[in-house]
Structure 1
Amino acid sequence: MSMEAWCQHYASVDICCLCPDFLDNTSSCHWASSFYDGRWVAGTTAGGCMNHKDTFWINPQFRFKLQRLDEHCESLLGPNNMLVSLMQKPDKRNRRLVSSLHIGFSIFQVGKLLQGQKGKFPAAFFNGRKPVAQTKNYLNARETMEFFRLNPGEYFIVPSTFRPNETASFILAILSKNETHVDDHSGHHVEIHKPTQPTFSEGNQEGDNKNRKLFRQYSDQYEEVNAERLQKLLNENIVNELNSGSEGFSLDACRGLVALMDLSITGTLNSQEFIRLWKRVMTYKEIFFVKDVSRTGTLSLLELRNAVEASGVTVTDDMLNLLALRYGGASGHITLENFICLILRLDCMAKIFTKLSDGQGMHLRESEWMYLSMYS
């Protein structure tokens, strides 16, 4: 078929190949490719495009370093050295029912002063900063891609939907003639640090005496509190005071709290164990209401992220999504009772890992694993 006939019958052509060597008319220096699966989840990692300044930063962030080419490949390099493709991946169960979202991506350069920073770049980073490269338009298509040139250095890619709170999975493909090292900048670990919110201040003798008095009001003749008594104490002294209409702490939740704080392994809390628990409960209560900026009496997923950070724990996007699934209601919002249980368990399990591991992993016998998983 002649070129004229081709142009008469076709408007576009898709070329499938293993690498884009044909783009710069040379195959002597091969392109390197890397692929990454990700997901936008409403409320946690679906921040929308840059028009939404308050939420854009919560989108997934992929940091990469672009190395300098050797002299031979540099001399053969065309005007562009990087191809980025973003493809949305529908749910297999209802693939035919899912319509494509408007998707795109932006690339930002990381300055030398920020290259050692861990975790996501916050909303303040994007104030006044323009991307060094981005998709020209947010396309309502399964895939969007851009071909451009970047100088050697450190960058990060922010894939996003056009509107916030749109849930979908995606595949990010990065092809470059330069050697490229990519890292999911959402983090890989749960990290414990000092709470940014002031902790409960009653740590003096007078405060401890007040806590012991409260403990004695609900303890048994052996001066111990079991799950049933703890449930009554928490609901009468925290939930009922709020008049929020909440169902309060369930018996199962209180069993979990006892297991987390029960260092003596008796199924009950003594005075010292209770005071440790009570101080942390009051601290997390303060954090909950400070971060509940919507004043709804619950935490949205975005507020949950801020509350978890304020409590002294840093989690990945995937972990935050799991916490919302495990402790959130049908709306995905977190109540005060669930937030307290969530943070106590998260903090406890992270500290157990830190204590038993070498920093990368840990080895447990079956009995040890069963002990931790069944009573903690």
Structure 2
Amino acid sequence: MAYPQGAVDPLWPWFSAVAGQDQQIEASELQTALTQSGINGNYQPFSLETCRIMIAMLDRDRSGSMGFPEFKELWAALNSWKQTFMRFDADHSGTVEPHELHQAVASFGYNLSPGALTVLVKRYEKGGRIAFDDFVACVVRLRALTSVFQGRDTQRNGFANFQYDDFIRCVMSI
């Protein structure tokens, strides 16, 4: 998006307030920037772990940090996920129930088995509900794992070959 001459991207202040001289932000800085920006609305601040996996999702150079272009990309994704979360939070409790998570995951185009959905719920629910932070962590991991899998599914038949070490690197980088 082009801004009028002299205008600054509205996201720049949130980014630059925490970025060092290298104009990169790490997980703790991302946590601060997102909390200060208010993107999480009335929800609790993002956990450090969720911030780490959000950076990993966009960390194309494997530096462990993100620059402003990646921050803008993340911001757009977070806004989209927030809208989806709010749409499926039927009782406006600030959490989604397992069946609402299933619906949200399906709305993103994931066709997961009941067993896979159960694993997601068990991983991300607390007290039978999924908070926004955990919802984002779930969506980021699904997106990243799907991308890795699709890159290895050369025949596009739902099967991929991984050597053990390669599998560990893929899973642990997400």
TM-score higher than 0.5 here?
yes
Change (3 A) 1:268 1:295: same
Which one has a larger percent helix, Structure 1 or Structure 2? Answer: 2
Aligned to 1:372: 170
One-letter amino acid matched to 1:353: F
Contact 2:27 2:65 in 1 (8 A): yes
For the residues of structure 2 that align with 1:240 and 1:317, how far apart are their CA atoms? 29
Is residue 363 from structure 1 mapped to residue 161 from structure 2 by the alignment? yes
| Among 213, 217, 230, the residue aligned to 2:17 | 217
Is the radius of gyration larger for structure 1 or structure 2? 1
Matches within 5 A, 1:1-376: 204-206=1-3, 209-238=9-38, 241-242=41-42, 244=43, 246=44, 248-329=45-126, 331-357=127-153, 358=155, 359-376=157-174
1:287-314 CA-partner distances (Å, limit 9, x unpaired) = 1111111111100112112222223323
Contact 2:14 2:36 in 1 (8 A): no
Aligned to 1:48: none
One-letter amino acid matched to 1:368: D
Give 5+ residue unaligned stretches, structure 1: 1-203
1:225-259 CA-partner distances (Å, limit 9, x unpaired) = 101101112223236741x5x3x222122122212
Change (3 A) 1:341 1:240: closer
Contact 1:299 1:334 in 2 (8 A): yes
1:223: Cα distance to partner?
0.4
Change (3 A) 1:260 1:370: same
One-letter amino acid matched to 1:346: L
1:78-124 CA-partner distances (Å, limit 9, x unpaired) = xxxxxxxxxxxxxxxxxxxxxxxxxxxxxxxxxxxxxxxxxxxxxxx
Give 5+ residue unaligned stretches, structure 2: none
Change (3 A) 1:270 1:324: same
Change (3 A) 1:287 1:205: farther
One-letter amino acid matched to 2:95: T
Q: Secondary structure at the match of 2:169?
A: helix
One-letter amino acid matched to 2:148: I
Change (3 A) 1:205 1:368: farther
Change (3 A) 1:362 1:236: same
1:370: Cα distance to partner?
2.4
TM-score (normalised: structure 1): 0.42
Q: Secondary structure at the match of 1:223?
A: coil
For the residues of structure 2 that align with 1:374 and 1:312, how far apart are their CA atoms? 24
Q: Secondary structure at the match of 2:14?
A: helix
For the residues of structure 1 that align with 2:117 and 2:40, how far apart are their CA atoms? 29
Contact 1:313 1:347 in 2 (8 A): no
